[in-house]
Structure 1
Amino acid sequence: MSEFFNLPSFILGILVGAIAGCFLAYYFLKKYMEKKMQEVTKLMKKEEIRQLASAFGHNLSEQQINLMMTSMERAMEQAKTKNKKK
């Protein structure tokens, strides 16, 4: 049995596997959390638009809010590309 099983190599393999697993878990967890933060940020922006419209006495539909968010995102992208050109 000793020719097929080497305890130091086995322990080293377990450690390397555990470290690699931790790195993979960290990577996927980071990607997942970034995606969730983007969703939360969008919801917060929608709520801010809704509150701003309510402050001026308007009740916007979900479609109107989505349209405003799309145009705001487009404007932000254009501003970013403009700043990169300078």
Structure 2
Amino acid sequence: MVMGRKGDVGDNLSDLQSSVITEDHMPLYVAVELGCWPAVAALLCLGADKNVLDQGGNGLYHMAAKRYHFTVIEILTKVVYI
């Protein structure tokens, strides 16, 4: 299980993300898209929001499944914010 404290990074991380992914893409979206599970785990531990959607209404789980990134799906599923 990956654990992190939601919001530990404060304003710096919130500047990088929003509830909807923009054309610039946020770091977590790009990490999921590339299947870079260490980056996904690190960003989630730093408080990145895993519930964001792209303009089509698809979330990070959908992106990971579409690209067969099963380790990323497992990490997204097991992250617990404390």
User: Which TM-score tier does this pair reach, normalised by the shorter chain?
Assistant: under 0.3
Structure 1 or 2: larger helix share?
1
Q: Which has the larger radius of gyration?
A: 1
TM-score under structure 1 normalisation?
0.21
Higher strand share: 2
